[in-house]
Amino acid sequence: MDILFSPQLLFSALVLGALYALIALGLNLVYGTMRLLNIAHGDLVMIGAYAAFWLFTLTGISPLIGLPVIAVLTAGVGVALYSVLFRGQLEGTQSVAQLEANSLLLFFGISVVLQNVMALAFTASPRAYRHLDDVYHVAGVAMTGNRVATLLIAVLVLAGVVIFLKSTIYGLAVTALIQSRDAAKVVGINVSQVQVGSFALGFGVAGIAGALISMAEQISPFMGFPFTIAAFVVIILGGLGNIAGGIIAGVLLGFIEIYAVALTSATYRSILLYGIFVGVLLIRPQGLFGKTRGG
């Protein structure tokens, strides 16, 4: 039981939770504003990871310094996809259910294309690099530099996006669109502009998450799927489209994962994680922080 009070576990839970929240944030923005089910989200994380890998390997520039470039790159992918594929879908599809179904299929195709294009370009061989891998000891907690950086950057980005959504006109427009698309149109919000902005923001954040992950894990063109699953678990748990709920659910998921393994066994990690997820949905189908409301 002493293990529960271990600051080491707390640190790991915070890192994992912040990462889950960050990965899920982008997915939530795209779903919340447009009702698009982006199952290629993990592949955007992968592109961010590759961008960081090549940036560091070819130029020696730290992924942390390169984060803006990486975010712009993946945001650019988002804008291109929006312009070519999704603008028409959003304008031409009337029902939310149809939009969700179409987007699911489209993003599935995009996922396969992105994975295989990356595999052809860079081979599917795992890649990794060493960066900020010194271990620091603070108050009895051992912390690898890249994990500390991941925690700090994730918290900064999450806070930045929340502040942006709460306190800027553009952010408030995004929030309005999440709350009610029709009402947003009525009050004169340029829906198309907000949508493309949400795409860029969501994909940019995914790229940042990928860059952070690449500092501590091996990367490959097919690494994205587990992140997509984790992101969906988080946003469903937090309430689809609920940005704050998603962040809390991400952190919660990190804590559940770390402490469930500590209290039981690693064998039960996935059973407990997804068992709790299913249990919450049985009790609250709208997620922990979701509201029941019409489309």
* Longest CA span, the chain: 58
9 binds other proteins (CB under 8 A): yes
Torsion, Cα of 200, 88, 94, 246 (10° steps):
-10
Return the number of the residue (9 or 244) whose C-beta is nearest other proteins.
Answer: 9
- Contacts with other proteins by CB under 8 A: the residue count is 43
Quote the CA–CA distance of 16 and 276 in Å, as a whole number. Answer: 17
Query: Which range in 81-89, 102-110, 122-130, 201-209 contacts other proteins by CB under 8 A?
Result: 122-130
132 binds other proteins (CB under 8 A): no
What is the crossing angle of helices 243-263 and 224-238, to 10°? 110
Query: Is residue 156 classed as helix, strand or coil in its secondary structure?
Result: helix
130 binds other proteins (CB under 8 A): yes
Q: Measuring CA to CA, which residue among 175, 165, 202, 222 is closest to residue 77?
A: 202
Return the number of the residue (135 or 187) whose C-beta is nearest other proteins.
Answer: 135
Contact 161, 25 (CB under 8 A): yes
* Bridge partner residues of 141 (DSSP): 138
Tell me which of 101, 124, 163, 183 binds other proteins, using CB under 8 A: 124
| Interface pattern 93-112 for other proteins (x via CB under 8 A) | -------------------x
Contact 149, 212 (CB under 8 A): yes
Return the number of the residue (16 or 47) whose C-beta is nearest other proteins.
Answer: 16
Query: Which range in 24-32, 142-150, 160-168, 235-243 contacts other proteins by CB under 8 A?
Result: 142-150
41 binds other proteins (CB under 8 A): no
DSSP string, 110-147: HHHHHHHHHHHHH-S--B----S--EEEETTEEEEHHH
Return the number of the residue (152 or 162) whose C-beta is nearest other proteins.
Answer: 152
Tell me which of 22, 36, 258, 288 binds other proteins, using CB under 8 A: 258
Return the number of the residue (80 or 268) whose C-beta is nearest other proteins.
Answer: 268
DSSP state, 288? S
* Bridge partner residues of 135 (DSSP): 144
Q: Which position has the token pair 């051992």?
A: 142
91 binds other proteins (CB under 8 A): no
Return the number of the residue (94 or 267) whose C-beta is nearest other proteins.
Answer: 267
135 binds other proteins (CB under 8 A): yes
What is the crossing angle of helices 169-179 and 191-214, to 10°? 100
Return the number of the residue (108 or 185) whose C-beta is nearest other proteins.
Answer: 108
Contact 44, 204 (CB under 8 A): no
Return the number of the residue (12 or 74) whose C-beta is nearest other proteins.
Answer: 12
> Cβ of residue 268: shortest distance to other proteins, in angstroms?
9
Q: With left for phi above 0 and alpha for psi between -120 and 50, is residue 287 left, alpha or beta?
A: left
Q: Which residues form the interface with other proteins (CB under 8 A)?
A: 3, 6, 8-9, 12, 15-16, 112, 115-116, 119, 123-130, 133, 135, 142-144, 147, 216-218, 220-222, 226, 230, 257-259, 261-262, 265-267, 269-270
